[in-house]
Amino acid sequence: MSNQFEKYANTFAKMIQCPTVSASGAEYFDKFQQVLKEQFPLVFSNLEVYYPGVDKDEQSRALLLKWRGKSSARPMVLMAHQDVVPADPATWTYPPYAGTIDDGKVWGRGTMDCKNTLFITINAVEELLQEGFVPENDVYLSYSDCEENSGMGAPYAVEWFKEHDVHPVVAVDEGGAIIENAFPGMKMPFAMVGILEKGYADVKFTAHSKGGHSSSPPNNTPIARLSAFVNYCETHVIFKRRMSDAALQMLKGISTGLGGALGFITKHAKGFAPLIVKALPAITPFGKALLGTTMTFTMAEGSKAPNVIPQSASVVANLRFGPGDKSADCIAKLTKLASKYDIEVEVLTAREHSATVDITTPEYKHFVDTMREQFPNIGISPYLMFGGTDCRHMQTMCLAQSDAPLATSILNNLHQCMQAMKTLTFNL
Ligand SMILES: [Zn+2]
């Protein structure tokens, strides 16, 4: 291990050793931020440090760092989150919060999602400060403490920007990455740049009955009705599939990495749209997710005893709304369908898909050119994200000034991140 690698690994391991599980308590995040202060002293002595939202919720530990550039006209926001999802130690090779370094790798919860992004961005700023570099425009590091449970960290940061009349040109978050085999048959690694995040809903379906003893069961018990409903949803196309602009951009984007018929079809995805919409979902679940709204059942509840018919039973479905679908329309459709089975519908949580980033803007082109400069041997493609990140909050603010936000990051390599930050801030 080189000295430099050892230094990075040790610093990163210290960050992993803080079990910053979402909503676990402010004290865990205070310890984590103490580690940041010790490991990145120049960042904390040179940048302005803000805690957005702490005036509204004293438990909030969202962190916002402002690196003053030569100009404040076109600021950039680099995002990541401090929190992680829980981990069951029994299923881990090394304890999830030990930060074990083995075989050239740091092991632990948060190494991939997304203390890696946090480490890379803050460390890049630390080293650029050592070099005496001053960015052309202001750079903000925005690190929520509750991304994993869709908490208020990022919305608080957005409020801060609004209150301070700051209008970022670009926001970059986790989400995409440079990946091998982004698509079957892909020959080279591709940077997948998120340009849209799908919408999200958890919906509960409940069936009632008079209950009773299982020794003399009536027909159409709650579980039987729920099962019929679930089976119908699983075996029918409930939501219309379509070739959205984001899906089209993604297929065209990856076509350069594909050979043969697949390369030809994706390159001419617009012309082949009817064929792709019909055939791709039948071939791969990825096709279903790319071309429309998906729904899958994730939770079920019935009677507490094996010999008692439940008075009510329920299942929960998770939905991801594709571009072109509104949550209210999809849920209305489900409600109509569920009523045929005498099932009630309750929306637990719902949000719409994000707007699509305009990839024709100079800002997007500049971002892609910067990547190309840093990673000359990869392909780059827009990407329709099936998951969600904090960037959707920031995106609304960037769009307000009709500039180009980016819904995701590919800045996952330290050296490239530093260089890319130089170029990005220089020209934006
Ligand atoms: Zn994440």
Question: pLDDT tens digit string along 387-400?
Answer: 888 888 888 777 54
Can you give the pLDDT at residue 412? 47
Q: 408 alpha carbon to ligand 1 midpoint, in Å?
A: 10
Q: 22 alpha carbon to ligand 1 midpoint, in Å?
A: 11
Report the chain's C-alpha Rg in angstroms: 24
What is the residue extent of each domain of the chain? 3-175+388-427, 200-351
- Written as one letter, the residue type at 268 is H
Quick check: 113 and 174 in contact, CB under 8 A? yes
* 199 phi/psi in degrees, rounded to 5: -75, 175
Q: 269 alpha carbon to ligand 1 midpoint, in Å?
A: 31
Q: 81 alpha carbon to ligand 1 midpoint, in Å?
A: 6
Q: 413 alpha carbon to ligand 1 midpoint, in Å?
A: 17
Return the number of other C-beta atoms located less than 10 Å from residue 72's C-beta: 13
The Cα–Cα gap between 23 and 150 comes to 11
Checking if the pLDDT of 191 tops 90, the result is no
DSSP string, 38-57: HH-HHHHHHSEEE-TTTTT-
**Any idea which residue has 């085999």 for tokens?**
181
Checking if the pLDDT of 423 tops 70, the result is no
Checking if the pLDDT of 402 tops 50, the result is no
- What's the token pair of residue 356? 């699509």
| 211: three-class secondary structure by DSSP | coil
Q: 138 alpha carbon to ligand 1 midpoint, in Å?
A: 24
Checking if the pLDDT of 240 tops 80, the result is yes
Per-residue pLDDT tens digits for 330-347: 999 999 999 999 999 999
Label residue 174 by pLDDT band (50, 70, 90): confident
Q: 174 alpha carbon to ligand 1 midpoint, in Å?
A: 6
Q: 173 alpha carbon to ligand 1 midpoint, in Å?
A: 9
Q: 83 alpha carbon to ligand 1 midpoint, in Å?
A: 8
Can you give the pLDDT at residue 210? 85
Q: 323 alpha carbon to ligand 1 midpoint, in Å?
A: 22
Q: 79 alpha carbon to ligand 1 midpoint, in Å?
A: 10
Label residue 403 by pLDDT band (50, 70, 90): very low
200-351 maps to which CATH number?
3.30.70.360
The Cα–Cα gap between 284 and 94 comes to 34
Q: 139 alpha carbon to ligand 1 midpoint, in Å?
A: 21
Q: 267 alpha carbon to ligand 1 midpoint, in Å?
A: 31
| Residues 6+ away with beta carbon under 8 Å from 119 | 8, 11, 12, 15
β-strands 71-81, 137-144: how paired?
A: parallel
Checking if the pLDDT of 109 tops 50, the result is yes
β-strands 71-81, 170-172: how paired?
A: parallel
Q: 114 alpha carbon to ligand 1 midpoint, in Å?
A: 5
Can you give the pLDDT at residue 415? 60
pTM, two decimal places: 0.87
Quick check: 410 and 178 in contact, CB under 8 A? yes
Q: 229 alpha carbon to ligand 1 midpoint, in Å?
A: 33
Can you give the pLDDT at residue 195? 87
Can you give the pLDDT at residue 1? 60
The Cα–Cα gap between 67 and 79 comes to 14
Quick check: 411 and 425 in contact, CB under 8 A? no
**Any idea which residue has 């690694």 for tokens?**
189
Q: 20 alpha carbon to ligand 1 midpoint, in Å?
A: 13
Q: 390 alpha carbon to ligand 1 midpoint, in Å?
A: 8
Q: 186 alpha carbon to ligand 1 midpoint, in Å?
A: 26
| 162: three-class secondary structure by DSSP | helix
Fold held by 3-175+388-427:
Aminopeptidase (3.40.630)
Q: 368 alpha carbon to ligand 1 midpoint, in Å?
A: 22
Q: 389 alpha carbon to ligand 1 midpoint, in Å?
A: 6
Q: 112 alpha carbon to ligand 1 midpoint, in Å?
A: 8
Length of the chain: 428
Label residue 112 by pLDDT band (50, 70, 90): confident
Mean pLDDT of 69-90: 92
- What's the token pair of residue 302? 């019935």
* 224 phi/psi in degrees, rounded to 5: -65, -45
Q: 148 alpha carbon to ligand 1 midpoint, in Å?
A: 6
Can you give the pLDDT at residue 28? 98
- What's the token pair of residue 71? 């100009």
